[in-house]
Structures are given as structure tokens and as C-alpha cells.
Chains A and B, each alone.
Chain A
């Protein structure tokens, strides 16, 4: 089996894992077992592409929609249940930056990390993800400016799902080809298909290598569909027409990849069913642990506010 097909099968498992976990998380939210949850449905090809190609020692600066990549970089379902279930222990995984909720603020953190790599003369890079709405904020432009100015090893990845909560791209940005925003900073940029894992993984591999070898920033805009609401508190039917929703569902990257794997006889329906059962068992085991956990302690948590606890 060629390497790329191996990648696709491995990637499919992660995409399916994320999709099944999302079903569970939404169900848990509806039952009051976790709080608000922002889904990744429809965007898994992009996030799994990142998970497959970003080096383990690289610095990943995610935002709140990045659950598939988090799973691939060490987060267990239990961690994500904690993270969205009101328990900071969900952030105690690996060495990456925690998800950023304030829009675009973390893009500068990634640029700061890339600056650290540059002056320490290591080969690591920073990869930061952001949504289309984040390209409206000053942090985005400030990070592009500084990264271009200092030739930083950073890859900017825009998940352009065309909606910032409810506001469509045409009302969000005077330039709807978001990759062109990098031109002003003399930063190489490309617009790419984010619905096909083969495309995302191959392009990410190429551009990650480029950033690493040339120590220059690159910006990639991936066009995706958000097949879920913004979060569990949202109802996309208020701002997306039935026609758009149906069109987007018809392009579900998970279904497309499953069909490709089936055509190449890499995954039959029976194998798919077994895989699903196995992944659901993993999720269920973590769910049981999450639900029965009573070890969260306020005094322990508070001890982490300062390195050295101030006096009373």
C-alpha cells in the first residue's frame, strides 16, 4: 500500500474518532453533563491533516474548534470532556498551547513562539489555526507583520468555513479571498481545498517543510464547511438556508473519504462497523471515568494561580 494511502486510512480513523466523539459531546451537552461545545464536524479533513503532518516537537496554537488535532496530539476524550465540562485539568496535556477562546489573540502567541525558535536556532516551527472571522482582528495583522519582518518559522492556517458564528464572509471581510491578505506583508499564501484529506495532508506536509527549511512564514487558507452549529448554543438554521445546508452536507469530507477507501478496497462496510464500535468503546470508557470523577478540588486548583502564593 502506498504511503499516502496509509496516511488516508490512518487519517480516516482519526476523522471518524473525532466525529463519534462530537456526537457524544453534543449528547452530553444536551443532557447537562458538559457545558457549551464547539463542534468540528465537516472540518475534520483539515484538522486531521494538521495532526498527521505537524512535528511532535513543533508548537501548535489552536483555537476552540480544533478537537480532531487535539486528539492526535495527546488529548484523550476524557481531557476534552473535562475541558468542555468545566475542569481545567483538560488543559494539562502535552506541550502545545491551550485552545484560545478570545478570537485571534493566540496568533501573536504563535508568532512569539516562532521568534523563540528562531533565536534558539532550533528547527521547530509554530502552527496556528484561526477562523475566517479572526482575520478581521488586529492581532492577525500584527502577527503577520512581525512574522514577515523577522522571517519567523510560522504557518498560519485559516479554517475558512465562511461563517463567524452567523456572519457570512461577504459581510465579514472586504477581501473574501482571505489568503490575499498576506500579500501586504510579503508573505507567501495559498487558497486550498479543506474538504479532502489527501489535499490537506499533502499540502500541509509540503508547506510545513517549506516553513521549516526556509524559516519564512506561510499562510494557507483552507475552504471548509461547518456541518454543525457554531456551538451547542447556536442554531445555524437561523442564518444558513436549507439549500446551503444540504449542499454542504453533500460534501461531507468523512463520507467522501470513506467512499474513496471503499473504492480502493481499503475499508469495507464490516471493517468500518468494527472500527466504529472500537472507537465508541474508547469514548464510552472515558465517559464513565468523567461522569464518576469526584477528584476535582478547589484548593488544589487555586494553588496554581501564582508560582509563589502571595500572602493572605
Chain B
């Protein structure tokens, strides 16, 4: 039995992809000798060489632009941005070219690139290092946005993202890189990037979350179970596209839903899900669909961060409101 952190399982997934497919190229800042600032690419340059694991100049827009050219010449780049808060210089390349290239050329060319980046707070990091702006990417047609919530899922999801010929924004929860390790006996590819996963079945309420907030969500599910309240927990996995089949089937059963995320609370993935549930299940709902997000505010410097991010108390309060609602 071996236990793995998420940083280790992503490293193993990248290692396997570099081994299995000569077209695989890694590019990013400090990903070579240093193994990345979170050591996710540790030892990969030593193993696969400097041509395939590129310690790139410090220019995020360049990383994205080069990846496009490589992809359109048949390579399979996996690019790392050091933090989500530093991806913004690359937005022009990602929005104006990556997401559009397949459509623009009616499938003559495409950009099967994985853009990896850590996201989310909880690490007491300096400004710009703790952002949850995943909604920016989920808004862009042509992209896929994926986020794992356990070491085992991270391995399978990275490999599944690679098999997809679509561009993927792969969001890795910073807080979970080196958090508790997971016991994994066998690594497998049994994940479908189009499908949300139901982690716990229940009939009283559907709780939807993803990435870093799955940690709090799992704790809440256990706590309520002890009080005889059975929450159905959905790990969204894919923020674009969203697996509405799984969501709608669950809420059809539970008739109550709470969505938890670390992003600011307006015009985001949680809002979109809440809208769709009310549109499709208006007559079935016992209570309004509620979101527990961060405030509509920039993420504060870390001393105030715990005030800003959702936590178990904030989530429980909203769950209790929804459970208490009578129609």
C-alpha cells in the first residue's frame, strides 16, 4: 500500500504521458531542474530531457502562444502557469486563438493543449497566489475546464484530459497538492471528463462542489449523516461543460440544492448551475437553490482570507436554511 499526494499523482500522470507519447511536451517556468514551485514536475526534465521539458523564459503569454504553434504542428503541449493569478497575460492567446482555432478552421487545425495551473486559497500566500477565477474560463466556448479534488482523481483526470483533443484548462487546487495523502493501490483511467461524480448518495439535499471546497463538503456530509440527514454530494469535476444530467437527476430526487465554491459569488459557475436547476426543476424544488461562495470582493491579503472563503460554518448555515424551508 502506498500513499500519494496530489502533486505526486499529477507528476506520475505527466511521467506516464511523456513515456507513452513522444509528442508530449512540457513547458513552463521553473518546471525543469527545480521541478516546478510545487514540485509537480520533479525529475521529469532529468528523465525526458530539456527538449521535451522546457524551462521557459518568464512570459506567460509566450508559453500559451508557443503551445498553440506546437499543437498545430502535431505536438501535445502541457503548459504550466505558476499560479492562476499569473495566467492573465495569456488570456488573449487562450481566448482569441486556443478556444477558436478548431471552429475557425472547421477542424482543419486544433489546439489540443492542457494548461495546468494551481488555484484557490488557504496557503497564506502573497497577493495574486490564491485566486479562484475559474469562471473566466468556464465562460469561454471551445475550452474545457477540469478540476480534480483527490490525488487519485488528479491522476486519472490528467490522463483523460490528454486523450481529449480539446484544449483544457486544468485547475489544480493549491491547498491539496501536499495535503493529506491518499492510499492508492492501482492507478486507472476510469474517469470520464464529461461526467460529474456522485461521491455520496443521499435523499435530503444535493450538495455540489469542486476542487478545493470538496474537502469542506465531505466533512459536512459526514457531520450531517450523524444527525440522520443524508446529503448527496456531487464533485462537479468539469466546470465547462457542466454535467447537467447528473445534477438534474440528483435534484429531482432531493428537491433541495446548495452549491459551494471558492469563487466570488456573482456571474460564476455556481450561478449558472443555480439558474439551470431552477429553469428545469422549478416545480419540483422545495427550497430556492442557494450558493455558498466567497464574497463579491477581491481575495484579501491572507490575514483576512478566512473571513472571505467559505468554511464549514458558513456552508452549514446555508444548508440549514435550505433544509428548514417549507413549501
The interface of chain A, by Cβ under 8 A from chain B, is: 59, 61, 88-89, 91-92, 97-98, 100, 102, 105-117, 119-120, 126, 138-139, 142-143, 145-146, 149, 301, 304-308, 310-312
Residues of B within 8 A of A308 (CB): 164-166, 194
CA distance A92 to B108 in the complex (A): 6
Shortest A94–chain B CB gap in Å is 9
Q: Is the interface of A mostly helix, strand, loop or mixed?
A: helix
Question: Would you call B244 and A312 a contact (CB within 8 A)?
Answer: yes
User: In whole Å, how far is A210's beta carbon from the nearest beta carbon of chain B?
Assistant: 21
Shortest Cβ distance from A33 into chain B, in angstroms? 22
Q: Tell me which of A105, A107, A143, A305 contacts B102 (CB under 8 A).
A: A305
Closest 3 pairs between A and B when the two form their complex, measured CB to CB: A112-B69, A108-B65, A310-B241
Query: Is there an interface contact between A115 and B106, defined as CB atoms closer than 8 Å?
Result: no
Further 6 A-B residue pairs, CB within 8 A, beyond A98-B105, A311-B244 = A108-B61, A108-B62, A109-B72, A112-B70, A116-B70, A306-B144
B binding-site residues for A, Cβ under 8 Å: 25, 51-52, 56-57, 59, 61-62, 64-75, 77, 92-93, 96-97, 101-110, 112, 141-142, 144, 164-166, 194, 241, 243-245
Which residue of chain A lies nearest to B141 when distances are taken between CB atoms in the complex?
Answer: A305
- Please name all residues of chain B whose beta carbon is closer than 8 Å to the beta carbon of A119 when the two chains form the complex: 25, 51-52, 75
B229 to chain A, nearest CB (A): 30
What B residues does A149 contact at CB under 8 A? 57
Residues of A within 8 A of B164 (CB): 307-308
The answer to whether B102 touches A111 (Cβ under 8 A) is: no
Q: Of residues A108, A142, A146, which shows the largest number of chain B Cβ atoms within 10 Å of its Cβ?
A: A108
CB <8 Å contact, B73 and A59: yes
Note all chain B residues with C-beta closer than 8 A to A109.
Answer: 65-66, 68-69, 72, 97
Q: Known contacts A116-B75, A138-B59: does B105 contact A91 (CB below 8 Å)?
A: yes
Question: Which residue on B lies nearest to A117, using beta carbons?
Answer: B73
The chain B residue with its CB closest to the CB of A100 is B97
| Contact assessment for A105 and B73 in the assembled complex, using a CB-CB cutoff below 8 Å | no
When A109-B65, A116-B70, A149-B57 are in contact, do A92 and B106 touch as well, CB less than 8 Å? yes
Distance in angstroms from B139 CB to nearest chain A CB is: 14
Name the one of A61, A116, A142, A304 contacting B74, with C-beta atoms under 8 angstroms. Answer: A116
CB-CB nearest in chain B for A112: B69
Residues of A within 8 A of B61 (CB): 108, 138-139, 142
| Bound: A149/B54 CA distance, A | 12
Q: Chain A: which residue is nearest B62 at the CB level?
A: A142
A309: nearest residue on chain B (CB-CB)? Answer: B241
Structural contact, A105 and B65, CB atoms closer than 8 A: yes
